[in-house]
Amino acid sequence: MEKIEPFGEGFVLALAPEFILVIGLFTLMIVPNLGDAKFRIPMTQIRIPWFMGGKRGTLDSDPRLPGLFATVFLSLAFGLTAMSFLNGMTRTQIVSGDNVMLQVDEFSRMFELIFFGALALASAASVNRLPATSRADRSASGLYNNRRQVDFYILLITTGLGMSVVALAQDLFLLFIGLELASFSTYILVAFMKESKEGTEAGMKYFIVGSVASGVGLYGLSLLYLWSGSLQFTELTSAFAANGMESLPLIALGMLLVGFGFKVSAAPFHFAAPDAYAGATAPVAGVLATASKAMGVLGLLRILLVVASPEATEGAAVWLVALGVLSVVTMTWGNLAALGSTNPKRMLAYSSVAHAGYMLAAITAIGALNWEEGHVNLSNDAALVVVTALIFHLTVLVCFKLGAFLVLSLLESEKGGHTLESLGGLAKRDPFLAVAMFIFMMSLAGVPPLSGFVSKLLVIMGIVKVALLDVTVNSDLAFSDLHWVWFLALAMVINSAISVFYYLRVGLVMYFHEPEEGREGPLPSGGPVRLAILACLVTTVFFGVGAGQLIALAESAANALVGAW
């Protein structure tokens, strides 16, 4: 383990992807403003070339430039993160005195891959989605359109920065700051389409509910601080181990659960999600459903598994039953609500609620483990399987859930995508998109051999493994000997059977219904977004057929978390 002081030796190298994003941020701010402006020193006639503002060149005033920059920088950050896996990761901590601030390891890097990958794809897709007007157009709306380009991509990059802070943080307060940076960026991104009523309403709703959830979480945080005097993960863990579960931290944990429950859109904190997804542009909604959700799960893992370490309590974790009930309610509610929604984005939002339920079920399974002396190794193994499954699930979610949103984003650019019927006849209008969408839907439903199936299988396997951990196989084995978390797996398979109905409906509409009037022609071409969809499609299939390598990667990430307990 390497310890580095901020701006000490190796600091920049350790946080290279984050620094790339910061550079990207500044580039985005500066480059589109470069011009031939001169600065006149007051009271003189001396003009110094200042380059900010004035008449801009042809290249840097291109309205498409911010999108390109953001995509390139996010991809660079993705690439750098991926590269850090190549020659073995050394766990690096950024410390300030005795306090550990950030920690770079496989776990945080894996989540950063998810964040940066999703954001890079969304950014590429947004090039299509945000109207950019030609430079010759000097009308107010034209200028306005072009002006907004930069804002949008700056917000995408700050989202990425905030999320990576969440991934790296080793201190609850730092984690919270990263969470808020990412949240505030997404609040604005959701409301970015302010011409449309839905966009504004969605942004407002998302902001209000989100800030209340954050407030509750922050209050929980302060209670934890009151109790232990520190927000360092290590300190909190040892405080739990020493004092056991007292009522004060229990209340604090409950409040934190609210804060992060909102982020993963778990019932009953999910009410803002469908509105937010429906009002936001499709790429942003895709980010909410994948990267933002991964951030929430990351927070939950840190809090429930590291801070309130289940092994510190006797028997099962204190939050076990609460979380188990929550997971079943979440998945069932999400699926039932998705059955009734006719807006594909709302449908996907509810399906993402259902997926949150599956992930909560997996986390619950870890809480059911028995951490007594002599049992720790077994439990560690089982926890490793579950966390691996979670990471795998979150990773492939970027492929097919974001992919589905990207398909919708192409429909959105012809003012469709808000009703299921606008998908009608897609098979005839654009076979590639229809096939892609169908594969994404099948993957969401968990049909083999797509990656959605492998991820669901892994989650089920994790839960079942936990449920069977204390079972000794002999003739007297009865069904009731299974731990009750087995029923979470049953709830999950029944729920995925329900979900097939609405995923299949999308396919039916695309292949069976006639196009709506005025939508018969081909869809807008949109090179970047199609490329992004193709990338999602290829990975969706590849991680299903050749899941081995991603599983190994997820396992190494999970090992970094579980092994450090």
Site residues, another protein (CB under 8 A): 385, 431-432, 435, 442, 445-449, 453, 457, 460-461, 464-465, 468, 471, 473-482, 486, 489-490, 493-494, 496-497, 500-501, 504-505, 507-508, 511-512, 547-548, 551-552, 555
Residues 6+ apart with CB under 8 A from 195: none
Select 208 or 493, whichever has its Cβ closest to another protein.
493
The closest of 351, 386, 396 to 545, measured between CA atoms, is 396
Q: Tell me how far apart the alpha carbons of residues 113 and 178 are, in angstroms, rounded to a whole number.
A: 16
Under 8 Å between Cβ of 386 and 323: no
Nearest distance from C-beta of residue 511 to another protein, angstroms: 6
DSSP 232: B
Whichever of 82 and 500 has its CB closer to another protein, that residue is 500
Nearest distance, CB of residue 506 and another protein, angstroms? 12
Q: Are 194 and 152 in contact (CB under 8 A)?
A: no
Report the residue number, 58 or 475, with the smaller CB distance to another protein. Answer: 475
Q: Give Cα 71 to chain centroid, integer Å.
A: 17
CB of 86 to another protein, least distance (A): 20
**CA distance linking residue 188 with residue 200, whole number of Å:** 10
> Hey, is 90 helix, strand or coil?
coil
Of residues 327, 539, 526, 342, the one with CA closest to residue 423? 342
CB nearer to another protein: pick between 166 and 382: 382
Min dist. Cβ of residue 464 to another protein (A): 5
* Residue 478, helix vs strand vs coil: coil
CA dist list (Å): 106 to 113, 182, 292: 10, 21, 19
Strand pairing category for 92-96 and 38-40: unpaired
Residues 449/472, Cβ–Cβ less than 8 Å: no
Q: Which residue lies nearer to another protein by CB, 129 or 393?
A: 393
Closer residue to another protein in complex, CB, 315/449:
449
Q: Within 13 A of 407's CA, how many CA atoms are on the CB side?
A: 31
Of 305 and 547, nearer to another protein (C-beta) is: 547
User: Are 146 and 133 within 8 A, CB to CB?
Assistant: yes
Three-class HEC string of 152-184? HHHHHHHHHHHHHHHHHECEHHHHHHHHHHHHH
- CB closer to another protein, 268 vs 522: 522
Cα 256–Cα 97–Cα 2 angle in degrees, nearest 5 = 90
Shortest spacing between CB 429 and another protein, in angstroms: 12
Of 239 and 547, CB closest to another protein: 547
Give the shortest CB-524-to-another protein separation in angstroms: 19
Helix extents (H) in 413-430: 426-429
Please tell me the chain's helix, strand, coil percentages from 3-state DSSP, rounded to the nearest 5. Answer: 70, 5, 25
**Buried-state track 22-38, b at ≥16 Cβ within 10 A, e below 16:** eebbebbeebbbbbeee
Residue whose CB is less far from another protein, 4 or 390: 390
Shortest reach from residue 493's CB to another protein, in Å? 4
CB 384 to another protein: min, Å: 8
Instruction: Name the residue nearer to another protein (CB basis): 72 or 482.
Output: 482
> What's the CA gap between 270 and 268, in Å, rounded?
6
Residue (63 or 357) nearer to another protein, CB: 357
Contacts of 434 (CB under 8 A, 6+ apart): 426, 427, 510, 511
Least Å distance between CB 182 and another protein? 32
Q: Rounded to the nearest whole angstrom, what is the least distance from the CB of residue 205 to another protein in the complex?
A: 33
The least distance separating another protein from the CB of residue 104, rounded to whole angstroms, comes to: 24
Q: Is the peptide bond before 344 cis (omega within 30 degrees of 0)?
A: no
CB of 284 to another protein, least distance (A): 30
Q: Are strands 2-4 and 92-96 parallel, antiparallel or unpaired?
A: parallel
